[in-house]
Chains A and B, each alone.
Chain A
Amino acid sequence: MTSMEQHPGDASVTDDGQQGDDIQIDQSRHNDSPPQTEKLPMSGVRIIDVGTFLAGPYAASILGEFGAEILKVEHPIAGDPMRRFGTPTKRHDATLAWLSEGRNRKSVTIDLRQKEGVQIFLKLVANSDVLIENFRPGTMEEWGLGWRELSGANPGLVMLRVSGYGQTGPYRRRSGFAHIAHAFGGLSYLAGFPGETPVLPGTTPLGDYMSSLYGAIGIMLALRHREKTGRGQVIDIATYEAVFRHLDEIAAAYGLFGKIREREGVGSFVAVPHGHFRTRDDKWIAIACTTDKMFERLAEAMERPELASTTLYGEQRKRLAARDVVNQIVIEWVGSLTREDVLNRCLEKEVPVGKVNSIADIFEDEHFQARGNLVRVEQEGLGEVVVPNVIPTLSETPGRITDLGPPLGNATYEVMRELLGISPDEIRQLRQRKII
């Protein structure tokens, strides 16, 4: 879902010709820090998230969970297209995906295609620490919001730029979404049965989350550098790069031996048995015997300890060579029992095993409950919305969800008035002219 598109809301916005008025700024409000009411690690850090969908914005979500103030800057009419992506709710400006992933933000509407909008945005940048964007490379520059202008407004600014292909290179202007990045980065080629249709690698926006995680790390590193030197910088991450970085030795093995990894179906090139198996009650279970010891335990769980002898399949090498035979033995054993039976027998012997959970299984699972992985948030007019909770868990400063995705523009007035010191009259005018 990486958006390399132009600013949300391509519908052209009417311009009443009153551009160019300088916005009056109440100087006493400058450099206001966000409230430091909490002892969270990111409290005191203000982040502008002008991105769309997930790649980039998710980095803001994580930092917001740990105390940063997030200003989501959106087009006054259309807002982030994420608001329309996924399953609608009773709220006209929010799908379930938006509610969950737009968490902990204040929405501020500014039209960056208007000159005055750009001016207001630069003032916001001057009062912030981090800017996150994911337009197609060159778009912000076209609006007069390139790194030169932005760092001019705030030399300590840390800017995260997420895009399909990165800020450089021959493909930088191509539109990119996670689905394309999975394919381009080499992951999609590997998902599915050998010689058959490559399937989606489980979840569509995986690459968006991955690039955002690297983005969040980049921001933390850059903030650290800024605290030492006062200097800001740009973090450039392509979604395909995050995907490609996660393919263990695939590059090294091709580089050294010319080995092209192909689709592996349910298995893995490094270990046997290592896959998904159907149980008697038509459910699925995952078993991963990464080491010989694990296989020995499985053989015991199957009540066939002889399978783990050195003359049979006790060594990974032999199991890899007899992949089909070993898998068939496990398929038959698993197929003769219910999922609960297989699970219990394996767990008793400490075999690495797990249910292939559907979301329904997950909601019932006692471990998910004990870890608080599902959090129920009451939303006015919508009832209860269940979303994934914050991870990772920090012992001293755990993160939190304060709000789900905000209504469009819910903090525009507050930010214009209190942070930028713009008078109520001017705010009204800006609104009428659809600049904010």
Chain B
Amino acid sequence: MIHETKAELPLAGIRVVDVATVIAAPHCATVLGEFGAEVLKVEHPLGGDALRRFGTPTRRQGDTLTWLSEARNKKSVTIDLHRREGVDLFKKLIEKSDILCENFRPGTLEKWGLGWEVLHAINPGLIMLRVTGYGQYGPYKDRPGFARIAHAVGGIAYLAGMPKGRPVTPGSTTLGDYLTGLYGCIGVLMALRYRERTGRGQYVDAALYESVFRCTDELVPIYGMYGIVRERHGPNHNEFECPHGHFPTKDGKWVAIACATDKLFGRLAMAMERPELASSSTYGDQKTRLENCHDVNEIVRDWCGSLTRDEVLERCYATGAPAGPLNNIADIFGDRQFHARRNLVAIDEEETGETIIVPCTIPKLSETPGKISHLGPKLGEHTADVLKDLLGMDDCQIDELRNKYVI
């Protein structure tokens, strides 16, 4: 246990079946698990979730660091859904569960006889999260979807990169997966609340591209009203505010500075020891700064380039100007705030002797903080326990299923 739990967690008593793969829908189950739900990760008996092979391998055969971190708190139960006996077993599991997370291409579960109608009949209170690249309906629903594609389709890949240059990855290829997991989680919690009032379950339909597209401030209405197409901005986004960007420092590092208001620019001018820049006759108001953003950026760039990163930041913090370092992961490990907030948690893997450092649970709840009880389980680690305790099967039956590779 990482946290000492003060009260029973909000989702204690809720059982989630996570039959999804990689990060998107599973991240919903991860968050639910951190706050007390029991998460049964149902995987194919051979190979399991593809996330086990995504990223950097560990000493534990077949399981990468991404798996260990992101499959936290889950119990692995192997069932082959391509087999009729596997399907029967899965239905029994659904009968005893509250939530199902899946992200197969639309029609796949239906093909196995596990569509919404069937599952809803078995368990009328079931809440089903369905995550796909494009959603359960619409002309592209059958196309394969990954976060990379969702970033492109949803409009944020187009915006990342130097003006007129190649659109780059917006920092990480997995953003759309996490975002969709969060929207899915919100949908599931809403549905759970509604079920408690009415007894009725429902399904949540989330598309990867939609989550990305939703996070684009006024990109949509500005095109709708004025036909303005936002382009790539490189390191400086001077559509609404200036300065707002990344600036190199003397020691070859980078700082981020963002002056959303005139008051904040005033503080930056103070930090630069050039208060006259913030007067009404120079660059005191946002409109003037935006009109002269090339000059303003130049002034800020010159100042940053004359100091080390730490010097720039110290001066900005002293006057309350909004600035921060462009941290790499080594910077983050050394940072006092990350330490004080306990954002990094080290967990020993006893079998392999490796210490795995992973991001801790967020958000922080004062009464019922989340917890990490263990990292990603071994494939099938909990199959026998779950079949015995939950479905009341005996060793004999379990052995038989194992011998037939159903589990």
Q: Does B156 contact A (CB under 8 A)?
A: yes
Quick one: which of B146, B169, B218, B355 contacts A290, CB cutoff 8 A? B146
Known A210-B179, A247-B174, A256-B357; further 17 A-B contacts with Cβ < 8 A? A171-B337, A199-B235, A205-B217, A218-B363, A236-B363, A236-B365, A246-B174, A256-B65, A260-B328, A276-B157, A359-B219, A359-B230, A371-B135, A385-B224, A391-B207, A397-B194, A397-B202
With A180-B258, A215-B363, A217-B363 already in contact, the answer to whether A248 and B23 are too (CB < 8 A) is: yes
Q: Does B101 contact A (CB under 8 A)?
A: no
Q: Does A100 contact B (CB under 8 A)?
A: yes
Q: Is A203's CB under 8 angstroms from B159's CB?
A: yes
Map CB proximity to A onto B87-127 as digits: 1 under 8 Å, 0 otherwise. Answer: 00000000000000000000000000000000000000000
**Which 7 interchain pairs have the tightest Cβ spacing?**
A386-B224, A255-B357, A183-B256, A396-B202, A286-B152, A169-B340, A202-B156
Bound form: Cα–Cα A214–B363 in Å: 6
Q: Does A143 contact B (CB under 8 A)?
A: no
- From 147 to 205 in chain B, residues with beta carbon under 8 angstroms from any chain A beta carbon are 148-162, 166-175, 178-179, 182-187, 189-194, 198, 200-205
Q: Kindly list chain B residues whose C-beta atoms are within 8 Å of the C-beta of A240.
A: 337
Interchain Cβ contacts under 8 Å between A and B, 5 examples: A182-B256, A248-B54, A253-B329, A352-B148, A394-B187
Q: Does B366 contact A (CB under 8 A)?
A: yes
Bound form: Cα–Cα A83–B57 in Å: 49
Q: Kindly list chain A residues whose C-beta atoms are within 8 Å of the C-beta of B178.
A: 210, 245-246
Question: For chains A and B in complex, what number of residue pairs have CB atoms within 8 angstroms?
Answer: 518
Chain B nearest Cβ from A87, distance in angstroms? 5
Chain B nearest Cβ from A232, distance in angstroms? 8
Q: Does A24 contact B (CB under 8 A)?
A: no
Q: Does B275 contact A (CB under 8 A)?
A: no
With A166-B341, A357-B154, A370-B137 already in contact, the answer to whether A183 and B326 are too (CB < 8 A) is: yes
Q: Does A128 contact B (CB under 8 A)?
A: no
- The stretch among A25-33, A107-115, A223-231, A299-307 that forms the contact with chain B is A223-231
Quick one: which of B170, B246, B323, B356 contacts A202, CB cutoff 8 A? B170
Q: Is B220's CB under 8 angstroms from A249's CB?
A: no
Interface core residue of A203, A225, A286, A367 (most chain B CB under 10 Å): A203
Q: Is B169's CB under 8 angstroms from A170's CB?
A: no
Q: Does B391 contact A (CB under 8 A)?
A: no
Bound form: Cα–Cα A374–B222 in Å: 13
Q: Kindly list chain B residues whose C-beta atoms are within 8 Å of the C-beta of A264.
A: 168-169
Q: Is B202's CB under 8 angstroms from A221's CB?
A: no
Q: Give the secondary structure class of B's interface.
A: mixed
Interface core residue of A85, A184, A366, A391 (most chain B CB under 10 Å): A391
Q: Does A206 contact B (CB under 8 A)?
A: yes
Q: Is B326's CB under 8 angstroms from A168's CB?
A: no
With A249-B55, A266-B167 already in contact, the answer to whether A358 and B158 are too (CB < 8 A) is: yes
Q: Does B283 contact A (CB under 8 A)?
A: no
Bound form: Cα–Cα A170–B367 in Å: 23
Chain A nearest Cβ from B317, distance in angstroms? 6
Q: Using C-beta atoms within 8 Å of the partner chain, give the interface range for chain B.
A: 35 or more
Q: Does B387 contact A (CB under 8 A)?
A: no
Q: Is B329's CB under 8 angstroms from A198's CB?
A: no
Chain A nearest Cβ from B161, distance in angstroms? 6
CB nearest to B190 among chain A residues: A41
- The stretch among A15-23, A186-194, A424-432 that forms the contact with chain B is A186-194
Q: Is A200's CB under 8 angstroms from B329's CB?
A: no
Bound form: Cα–Cα A254–B331 in Å: 11
Bound form: Cα–Cα A350–B111 in Å: 19
Map CB proximity to A onto B310-333 as digits: 1 under 8 Å, 0 otherwise. Answer: 000000010011111111111111
With A180-B256, A391-B183 already in contact, the answer to whether A81 and B261 are too (CB < 8 A) is: yes
Q: Does A145 contact B (CB under 8 A)?
A: no
Bound form: Cα–Cα A48–B223 in Å: 31
Bound form: Cα–Cα A43–B292 in Å: 48
Bound form: Cα–Cα A89–B218 in Å: 12
Quick one: which of A85, A255, A263, A359 contacts B260, CB cutoff 8 A? A85
Bound form: Cα–Cα A265–B200 in Å: 47
Q: Is B156's CB under 8 angstroms from A254's CB?
A: no
Bound form: Cα–Cα A241–B370 in Å: 15
Q: Does A318 contact B (CB under 8 A)?
A: no
- The stretch among A69-77, A117-125, A267-275, A411-419 that forms the contact with chain B is A267-275
CB nearest to A265 among chain B residues: B168
Bound form: Cα–Cα A259–B209 in Å: 30
Bound form: Cα–Cα A435–B368 in Å: 37
CB nearest to B6 among chain A residues: A233
Q: Does A284 contact B (CB under 8 A)?
A: yes
Map CB proximity to B onto A293-326 as digits: 1 under 8 Å, 0 otherwise. Answer: 0100000000000000000000000000000000
Q: Is A357's CB under 8 angstroms from B169's CB?
A: no
Chain A nearest Cβ from B267, distance in angstroms? 8
Q: Is B210's CB under 8 angstroms from A373's CB?
A: yes
With A183-B325, A222-B368, A395-B204 already in contact, the answer to whether A237 and B55 are too (CB < 8 A) is: no
Q: Kindly list chain A residues whose C-beta atoms are within 8 Å of the C-beta of B233.
A: 199-200
Q: Is A179's CB under 8 angstroms from B153's CB?
A: no
Q: Does A131 contact B (CB under 8 A)?
A: no
With A170-B336, A255-B333, A265-B168 already in contact, the answer to whether A359 and B186 are too (CB < 8 A) is: no
Chain A nearest Cβ from B21, distance in angstroms? 11
Q: Does B145 contact A (CB under 8 A)?
A: yes
Q: Does A148 contact B (CB under 8 A)?
A: no
Map CB proximity to A onto B1-12 as digits: 1 under 8 Å, 0 otherwise. Answer: 000000110110
Bound form: Cα–Cα A395–B173 in Å: 29
Bound form: Cα–Cα A170–B354 in Å: 31
Q: Is A41's CB under 8 angstroms from B191's CB?
A: yes
